[in-house]
């Protein structure tokens, strides 16, 4: 048993978020994956120029009314700790190989494939790092970059790659190699 939420210093809070975050991702994946769909043929056709078929074939997508915040946020709130990231406003999220798309924060139809590409970059990051290290880098990156969502290195990489995808006009690049290179350049793949 660790300290309760109310007794934690910042380092303990980050460890709490990592431990609970890992379990949340596992739970959410198990909850949603059975009712999620494979990529549609038109999505697959666009993504396969950038991501290996073996990766794409494992991806599942599910549209949900809203992305819920983790249940452990209630314990944080009771302890007077402000919400780390508000997932309810997010358009998409990836639990390893299982992507949720939000209706409440839905992107325009013209951006729908780009969003799936973005989430697929997180799927590649999970594959490269494993679940535990992905969550650890996400949480510690968030803390190290001023608790700003947009500055989280794993997000910066995914956003830069989805921008490159959007401007590529279908000219292929190896997204997995790009993900690996970016992780290694920060010493993150060690
Ligand atoms: Zn993202």
How far apart are the CA of 158 and the centre of ligand 1, in A?
A: 6
User: Separation of 154 CA from ligand 1 center, angstroms?
Assistant: 7
What's the pLDDT score for residue 57? 98
Q: Residue 159 Cα, ligand 1 centroid: separation in angstroms?
A: 7
Distance 183 CA to ligand 1 centre (A): 15
Q: How far is the CA of 153 from the centre of ligand 1 (A)?
A: 10
State residue 123's pLDDT score: 98
32 contacts 100 by C-beta, under 8 angstroms: yes
Rounded Cα–Cα distance for residues 172 and 174 (Å): 7
How far apart are alpha carbons 57 and 39 in whole angstroms? 8
**Ligand 1: distance of its center to the CA of 171 in Å?**
22
CA distances from 114 to 41, 47, 84, 120 (A): 15, 9, 26, 10
Determine the Cα–Cα distance for residues 162 and 158; give it in Å rounded to an integer: 6
Per-residue pLDDT of 111-156, as tens digits, reads 999 999 999 999 999 999 999 999 999 999 999 999 999 999 999 9
Average confidence (pLDDT) over 25-39 = 98
Token pair in block for residue 89: 């406003």
Q: How far is the CA of 130 from the centre of ligand 1 (A)?
A: 16
Reply yes or no on whether the pLDDT at 2 is more than 60.
Answer: yes
Ligand 1 centroid, distance to 148 Cα (angstroms)? 13
- Rounded to two decimals, what is the model's pTM? 0.94
Bridge partner list, 93 = 100
Q: 147: alpha, beta or left, given left = phi > 0 and alpha = psi -120 to 50?
A: left
Q: Which residue from 89, 97, 88, 91 is spatially nearest to 29, judged by alpha carbons?
A: 97
């Amino acid at each position: 048993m660790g300290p309760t939420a109310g007794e934690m210093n910042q380092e303990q809070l980050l460890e709490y978020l990592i431990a609970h975050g890992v379990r949340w991702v596992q739970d959410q994946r198990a909850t949603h994956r059975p009712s999620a769909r494979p990529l549609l043929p038109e999505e697959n056709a666009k993504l396969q120029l950038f991501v290996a078929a073996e990766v794409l074939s494992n991806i599942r997508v599910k549209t949900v009314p809203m992305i819920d915040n983790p249940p452990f946020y209630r314990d944080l709130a009771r302890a007077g700790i402000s919400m780390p990231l508000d997932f309810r406003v997010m358009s998409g999220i990836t639990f390893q190989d299982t992507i949720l798309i939000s209706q409440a924060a839905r992107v325009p139809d013209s951006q729908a494939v780009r969003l799936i590409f973005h989430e697929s970059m997180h799927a590649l990051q999970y594959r490269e790092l494993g679940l535990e290290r992905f969550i650890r880098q996400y949480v510690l990156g968030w803390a190290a970059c001023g608790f700003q969502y947009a500055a989280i290195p794993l997000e910066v990489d995914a956003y830069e790659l989805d921008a490159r995808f959007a401007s590529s006009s279908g000219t292929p690049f190896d997204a997995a190699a790009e993900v690996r290179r970016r992780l290694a350049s920060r010493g993150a793949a060690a």
